Structure 1
Amino acid sequence: MENRPALSKKLNREEFSEYYYLKEELVEFCRENKIPTTGSKLELTERVSHFLETGEILKSKRKVRPIANIGNLDEFSTIEDNFVCSEKHRAFFKSKIGESFSFKVRFQNWLKENSGKTYRDAINAYYKIIEENKSKKTTIDKQFEYNTYIRDFFERNPDKSLEQAIRCWKYKKSIKGHNQYEDLDLNILP
């Protein structure tokens, strides 16, 4: 098995892009090299890649959003601009939907895209999203490579265990190339 190189300034951009690195490793590298550590794994990867190629430090693209002043919420309240999931919002939705409520990514996106609609509309959208998720394969964002790999592993190998899936994932991320599941990954299992 090929060993993954340590993340260091000695790597070039191409070598770096051939291997999988944890977000924690990217943050550590950024700290050591005075690169901003905020943002998603994809943003950190972009900054590290740019730094390895040019030696330049990319600034964080994050904009500070104004925090909305949230009054009392009810079903007829309108969803505020620049919606941010807060404990007040969580408590409201749990009181209306139940303890099983959670801020799923699709629902968060719906809230952010539908300012001006009512919280009653949001509750209806939540139930619709939950129903849609039951009947179709959900999209996993690109930065969640582990989740995608494990889902794809079990789609092809429903008889295998999580331990086997994780063993294959660890192998896959240690070798050069992409991180998508392939049936050849099973060759490392005893």
Structure 2
Amino acid sequence: PARRPKAGRGLCAPVDGTTVIPDGQRCSQVLREFFRREIGPEFHFDGYMRAYIAENAGRTLAEAVAHWHDTRAAAAEPHPIGAQFEFNRFLRAWHAGHPSGTRDEALAAWHAHRSAPRSPAGSAGPAAPAGSAAPA
């Protein structure tokens, strides 16, 4: 894998909408505080904002706030869950098939799924095996 460039010195408080995002800026507590102040308590660093901060050195924090608002519809849509997050993928699939299922039922189905034999390649198998029905 390609190595990420080391971050330079990140932004320090105080920051405002005219503050320019420096090269290598990380999603820091200084930025989180600024965005929560400007956007509100619903702000969080999602994939859209992490990518924006990483890829838009030279832009202002006001532009980042506009980006947050511009990406909310897309952020609300379901997105594929990466293969490394097998548990999350399993739960999403299980709850889609068992909308009234409880957390305990989902966890029992997960444990049954994980205790099932694996294929020789080490694959975890399907996201929600046929035998993962909600316990009675």
Q: TM-score range by the shorter chain?
A: 0.7 to 0.9
Which structure is higher in RCO with an 8 Å CA cutoff and minimum separation 6?
1
- The counterpart of 2:106, out of the listed 154, 162, 165, is 165
More helix by share: 1
Offset of 1:95 from its aligned partner? 0.8
Contiguous gaps of at least 5 residues in structure 2: none
Correspondence 1:1-190 to 2 at 5 A: 65-71=6-12, 72-134=14-76, 136-175=77-116, 176=118, 177-186=123-132, 189-190=135-136
Q: Is the 8 A contact 2:109 2:132 kept in 1?
A: yes
Q: Which residue of 2 aligns with 1:33?
A: none
Q: Deviations over 1:94-145 (max 9, x none)?
A: 11011221111332122212222211111111122222222x2123233222
Sequence identity (%)? 22
* 3-state DSSP of counterpart to 1:146: helix
Contiguous gaps of at least 5 residues in structure 1: 1-42, 44-60
Count of matched residue pairs: 130
Q: Which amino acid aligns with 1:123?
A: V
Structure 1 residue ranges, 4+ long, deviating more than 6 angstroms after superposition: none
Offset of 1:151 from its aligned partner? 1.0
Please provide the CA RMSD for this pair. 2.4
TM-score (norm 2): 0.79
